[in-house]
Amino acid sequence: MRFKLLSAALVVLFSAWMIYTFISWGRPVPFQVQTLERIDSTGDGVIDTWRLDLSQDGQPDIAELDTDGDGRVDRLEVSHPKPEVIEVSGRYPRAGRRKLAVCLDGVPFEDMAALWDRGYFREFGRPGRLIGSFPSLSDVALTELLHTGKVPGYENLYFDTQHNKIAGGATSTVSKVKMPYLDALDYDEPGIFKGLAYLIPIRIYHADLGRFRKRYAASRLPAYVAHICSTDSVCHVLNREEFLKLMLEVDQLLREIYIQQRGQVDFIVFSDHGNSHVQNRRIDLDGFLAQHGFRVESAIHNEQSVVVPAFGLVGALPVYSQPQNTATLARLLASHPATDFSVYLDGKRVQLCSSRGSAAIEARDSGRFLRYATLDGDPLQLKLVMQRMLEQRQLDAEGFGSTDNWFAATAMHEYADAVNAIYQGVTNHVINRANVLVSLKDGYHYGSPFFDRLVTMRSTHGNLRRTSMTGFFMRNGPMPVVVLPARELLRNFAEEKVH
């Protein structure tokens, strides 16, 4: 009897512990640094002073000041435990200082700029635009940002062309195998939570922030790179104002790190891609292809087989089939009402199909010079851009321009950095390249039917539109440029980590 009573008590205690753990897990992070006041000390309508409480007694212990009016904190005035003034406006980077790079997955430039304009994230200069890769998906984007080896596919669920089967998926997400960019990260959300992020997004978000804070505090690495994955999932399922409100917790987290290190850290914060903030619905690709004699399957069995890995809920999709179907499928998929355009590699030329016409992108000198040649229509709406480039002698007589010139001319275009991004998207990034890549219009997605039934997608990314392609970057130091290709942001940072 005593044994039974003891066993029952242990079961009750264990159950109570599990319930308590679930209830307490995923709560908002209890930040140690609290903002007491945000002050416009000069009366010019611009916040320039932030008074902070470090001892949790409701009294200010330290103040952040923007003394030169550029919007960024340049001085810390400490009042407790002893008065101290710390200048934090110096050059960037500084030799010997600790370095921290934080990727806030999927945060659009417009959102971070709006928060900065409201007086948040002022340890950093005003956000610049970071132009990402196509498809605008995290695995591809982080591969380019971190300059690592190619990933197997465009997302964790991919088509293995060598073994003719779907591979990866949930097990790959949890185990994180075959993802080279993960080796360059010092913190990433555990894979088991990435799928759950669509079901309990806010709890996952809070747990992600808390886990990163704890891991970074325990680290002594001189250069640390973190990936906060959960910002993307909350952006997918919340409306914009709800999302912006949650982002204030990131503001608190980054400020706490900054204050605890007294501003003596070279800090880069950025996102790998943007988000559309457009409610969207899943397209019936299977039914559409069936109407035209193709079958969506998990392997290529015959000429009618088409493989489209359905993972996540995103605005771009890779299509695999027998090589002789490539051009036909590209034209067919371009005719779908939800498709913006489709692209494929034809020899050394990238062919582009759209309801607005067709074009080709050609490369010279190992891809250092590219040409956009319209065949009919102007699917990327670049004719006026090209005319200006010709007038400024940024294109040669044959229409070829350097990758830098194409970026400078098109980074702010509706199809951001389109010529570079499409060429790299079709020829680079992944081991198992698709026969056809499809960029959907805003308002549409393709992916997991399971997730589609569970969540309402209020935003997505993946396509080549500016909202998805444009992330942000900001530093706690001078910002010499306001628009930057993602491949350049961490080039020196990554090299320092390797060496």
Write the DSSP string, 330-341: HHHHHTSTTEEE
Tokens 């190992």, located at residue: 366
3-state secondary structure of 192: helix
Helix (H) or strand (E) holding 374: strand 369-377
- Which pLDDT tens digit goes with each residue over 458-495? 999 999 999 999 999 999 998 889 999 999 999 877 45
pLDDT at 190 over 50: yes
Q: Is 407 among the domain residues?
A: yes
Kindly provide the residue ranges of all beta strands, DSSP E only, lying in 94-174, ordered along the sequence. 98-104, 128-131, 157-160, 165-168
Q: Is 106 among the domain residues?
A: no
Domain end (from 74, 89, 104):
89
Task: Indicate the pLDDT class of residue 191, thresholds 50, 70 and 90.
Answer: confident
**Higher pLDDT, residue 172 or 35:** 35
Indicate the burial class of 466 (C-beta count within 10 angstroms; 0-12, 13-18, 19 or more). buried
pTM: 0.92
The answer to whether 263 touches 476, Cβ cutoff 8 Å, is: yes
Domain end (from 72, 89, 106):
89
Residue 194 is predicted with a pLDDT of: 79
* Cα Rg of the chain (Å, integer): 25
- Among 114, 146, 112, 109, CA closest to 466: 109
| Range of the structural domain that residue 41 is part of | 31-89
Q: Is 433 among the domain residues?
A: yes
pLDDT at 95 over 80: no
Tokens 């007491």, located at residue: 36
- Which pLDDT tens digit goes with each residue over 3-37? 555 555 555 444 443 333 444 467 888 889 999 99
Residue 17 is predicted with a pLDDT of: 35
Q: Which residues of 125-156 are buried (b: 16+ CB within 10 A; e: fewer)?
A: bbbbbbbbbbbbbbbbbbbbbbebebbbbbbb
Q: Is 159 among the domain residues?
A: no
| Distance from C-alpha of 430 to C-alpha of 160, rounded to nearest angstrom | 11
Average pLDDT over residues 396-416: 97
- Which pLDDT tens digit goes with each residue over 53-72? 998 889 999 999 999 999 99
Helices (runs of H) and strands (runs of E) counted in the chain? 17, 26
Domain end (from 60, 89, 118):
89
Task: Indicate the pLDDT class of residue 389, thresholds 50, 70 and 90.
Answer: very high
Residue 20 is predicted with a pLDDT of: 37
- The conformation of residue 198, written as its DSSP 8-state character, comes to T
pLDDT at 86 over 60: yes
| Distance from C-alpha of 369 to C-alpha of 206, rounded to nearest angstrom | 45
Q: Is 141 among the domain residues?
A: no
Omega before 93 cis (within 30°)?
yes
- What distance lies between CA 459 and its chain's CA centroid? 13
Residue 260 is predicted with a pLDDT of: 93
Helix (H) or strand (E) holding 445: strand 444-447
Helix axes 230-237, 201-218, angle to 10 degrees: 160
pLDDT at 416 over 80: yes
pLDDT at 435 over 50: yes
- Which pLDDT tens digit goes with each residue over 245-275? 999 999 999 999 999 999 999 999 999 999 9
Kindly provide the residue ranges of all beta strands, DSSP E only, lying in 290-338, ordered along the sequence. 295-296, 305-306, 313-314, 316-319
Residue 355 is predicted with a pLDDT of: 96
- Which pLDDT tens digit goes with each residue over 350-378? 999 999 999 999 999 999 999 999 999 99
Q: Which amino acid is at 95?
A: A
Q: Which residues of 327-363 are buried (b: 16+ CB within 10 A; e: fewer)?
A: eebbbbbbebebbbbbbbbeeebbbbbbebebbebbb
Q: Please count the other Cβ atoms lying within 10 Å of the Cβ belonging to residue 26.
A: 17
Tokens 């640094």, located at residue: 33
Share of the chain above pLDDT 70, in %: 92
Residue 107 is predicted with a pLDDT of: 98
Residue 6 is predicted with a pLDDT of: 55
Q: Please count the other Cβ atoms lying within 10 Å of the Cβ belonging to residue 249.
A: 15
| Distance from C-alpha of 174 to C-alpha of 480, rounded to nearest angstrom | 39
Tokens 């991004």, located at residue: 421
Considering the chain, what is the average pLDDT of its residues? 91
| Distance from C-alpha of 31 to C-alpha of 44, rounded to nearest angstrom | 31
Residue 177 is predicted with a pLDDT of: 58
Residue 334 is predicted with a pLDDT of: 98
**Higher pLDDT, residue 11 or 206:** 206
Q: Is 446 among the domain residues?
A: yes
**Higher pLDDT, residue 34 or 454:** 34
Average pLDDT over residues 134-153: 96
Torsion of CA 159, 163, 164, 168, to 10 degrees: -30
Q: Is 308 among the domain residues?
A: yes
Task: Indicate the pLDDT class of residue 498, thresholds 50, 70 and 90.
Answer: very low
Residue 193 is predicted with a pLDDT of: 80
pLDDT at 197 over 90: no
| Distance from C-alpha of 315 to C-alpha of 198, rounded to nearest angstrom | 17
Which of these ranges, 37-46, 135-144, 170-179, has the smallest mean pLDDT? 170-179
- Which pLDDT tens digit goes with each residue over 283-320? 999 999 999 999 999 999 999 999 999 988 999 999 99
Q: Which residues contact 468 (CB under 8 A, 6 or more apart)?
A: 136, 273, 274, 275, 276, 315, 460, 461, 462
The answer to whether 424 touches 143, Cβ cutoff 8 Å, is: no
Q: Based on the structure, what is the number of domains in the chain?
A: 2
Q: Is 461 among the domain residues?
A: no
The answer to whether 78 touches 64, Cβ cutoff 8 Å, is: no
Which token pair is 381?
A: 């709406």
